[in-house]
Structure 1
Amino acid sequence: MNAVTTPEREAAAAAVSPPAFFSCRNLHAFYGQSYVVQGVGFDVHEGEIVALLGRNGAGKTSTLRTIARLADPQLRSGEVWLAGQALHPLAAWQAARLGVGLVPEDRRIIGGLTVEENLQLARIEPPRGWSLERIYSHFPRLAERRRQEAVTLSGGEQQMLAVARALAREVKLLLLDEPYEGLAPVIVQEIEKILQEIKALGLTTIIVEQNAIAALHLANRAVILDMGEVVFDGTARDVIDNAELRHQYLAI
């Protein structure tokens, strides 16, 4: 009988080793006929923040939406796992009940409702996450505007509300899509402070952000996409220190 080769041993070990807290494997997803996610796979360990980076059109938001199990893009093949549970067979609402909290780029603030009503709506049924008191302690500006119609908030305040609304559910994996998009630098600093607090709490997070340097300073690790594929998976410091890598894939 032939001896098992080293690569075969490694493959066998990988097959039986416990999965990471979050894993996506060989994701292939489409918008209609447009092939937008082309075999993406990476892990996120519990309590870790991963920056999912790349140029415009690299597939970052599409990957995030695929992980959250939104209908678009359509997942044709691949697997998504969170805390040992398979998400890939599920709809978005089922993934949300299992702990996936997506903060979309457009924030999806509900018109006609106050700040507090937006938060209460997120907590309308189990599993519930942060209480209103806890939310207001971390987001004092929202406490000040709790009776204000939410769509009249500033862009930065709406972003705070979108993050707080996700936390109002029981979140195991927080997905942030462009949290700094369109915000003034002083407001970006406020959002960064809030995200640093979330990091200190140990909430597992994937952040998609065009402001790559800001995301890298927040993150533990970075995954870089190009044309729907993973081209780098390593520490955030590795990206910060590698000017050639940043120029080639992030244009910075």
Structure 2
Amino acid sequence: MTTTTELTQNASNADKERPFFSVTDLHAYYGESYIVQGISLELPKGEILALLGRNGAGKTSALRTFARTEDPQLKQGEIWLDGQPLHKMRSHEAAMAGLQLVPEDRRIIQGLTVEENLTLAQVAPGHGWAIEQVYERFPRLAERRNQEGVTLSGGEQQMLAIGRALVRDVKLLLLDEPYEGLAPVIVQEIEKILKEIKLLGITTIIVEQNAVAALRLADKAVIMDTGEIAFTGSAQEVLDNEELRHEYLAI
């Protein structure tokens, strides 16, 4: 007969063997629309994954499912982060467990200054960076700390959205189209910041239409096609495979 102690030890061993972040046989729906169709992936701690695909491939839906938002609805599968079962959590619980989503629309809170947006993000338990640390890495935000967040430029709003995630206790950072609508010079500035985040050991998943920019930054790549995974491998493999890029990314 298996004892309680043995069950606890077995569970502990399973957690040790499980990757830092993993998704297994994930199925999710928007109403009746079957949008995430049985995807599985894993990511070691401190690495960056580029989640790529054409428009409508299911990339953003996958990110939102990882983050446990209400839509899409998870119907089947498991999501684990650092031994914690995100698939059993709601979005606020997943955030407290260390998953931070920076959505494409950035969701800067109207009526609050830059500093107030950052301060509000620190209300929940589990603080990450101090606000002054954010200002050190985002000098533009320091210069505009008393400016209303929604009046910032697009690039500055993206910096604020990333900074807001970093003041939480972030273990996994999800970035949805971080370069969308930004001038090339601002994209380079955001890339520099993301490289620094990587050096700090923060695990990151990037969904980005600018696939080459995302691949230059990433360790691994996953390409989605109509809700399923069409390719999993290194970022360099995708950069080196013109046929693969043309078929699934149109580049």
Q: TM-score, normalised by structure 1?
A: 0.93
**The residue matched to 1:88 in structure 2 has which SS?**
helix
| Aligned residue in 1 for 2:23 | 24
1:128 corresponds to 2:127: yes
Q: Which residue number in structure 2 is paired with residue 240 of structure 1?
A: 239
Counterpart for residue 204 of structure 1: 203
Name the structure 1 match of 2:188. 189
Q: Does 1:143 align with 2:142?
A: yes
- CA offset digits 1:46-91 (Å, max 9, x no partner): 0000000000000000000000000000000000000011000110
Query: Given that residues 23 and 80 in structure 2 are in contact (C-alpha distance below 8 angstroms), is that contact kept between their aligned partners in structure 1?
Result: yes
Give the Cα separation in 2 of the matches to 1:182 and 1:17.
41
One-letter code of the match for 1:54?
G
Matching residue of 1:5: none
- Structure 1 regions of 5+ residues with no counterpart? 1-14
Structure 2 Cα separation of the partners of residues 27 and 19 of structure 1:
16
Match in the other structure for 2:51: 52
Structure 1, 115-124 or 186-195: larger mean CA deviation: 186-195
Stretches (4+) displaced over 6 A:
none
Question: Once the two structures are aligned, what percentage of the paired residues are identical?
Answer: 68
Give the whole-Å Cα distance in 2 for the aligned partners of 1:74 and 1:125. 25
2:104 is matched with which residue? 105
In 1, Cα distance between equivalents of 2:246 and 2:200: 33
CA distance in 1 between partners of 2:138 and 2:128 (Å): 15
Counterpart code for 1:87:
L
Q: CA deviation at 1:106?
A: 0.3
Q: What amino acid does structure 2 have at the position aligned with 1:91? A: R
What corresponds to 2:64 in structure 1?
65
Normalising by the residue count of structure 2, what TM-score does the alignment of the two structures yield?
0.93
Deviations 1:16-54 (Å, cap 9, x if unpaired)?
980100000111000011110000110010000000000
SS at match of 2:88: coil
* Letter paired with 1:159: Q
| SS state at 2:87 partner | coil
2:223·2:230 contact (CA, 8 Å) conserved in 1?
yes
SS at match of 2:89: coil
| RMSD, aligned α-carbons | 1.1
Paired with 2:88 and 2:168, the residues of 1 have a C-alpha distance of: 21
Give the direction of change, closer, same or farther, for the CA distance of 1:200–1:38 in structure 2 (3 Å limit).
same
- Residue matched to 1:7: none
- Alignment correspondent of 2:4: none
CA distance in 2, matches of 1:209, 1:173: 17
Secondary structure of the 1:102 match is: strand
Report the Cα offset of residue 125 of structure 1: 2.7
Cα distance in 1 for residues equivalent to 2:233 and 2:172: 19
Q: In the TM superposition, what is the alpha-carbon distance from 1:187 to its structure 2 partner?
A: 1.0
Q: 1:126 Cα shift?
A: 1.1
User: Could you say which residue in structure 2 is the equivalent of 1:175?
Assistant: 174
Deviation at 1:124, TM superposition (A): 1.1
Greater mean alpha carbon deviation, residues 141-150 or residues 15-24: 15-24
Equivalent AA in structure 1 for residue 250 of structure 2: A
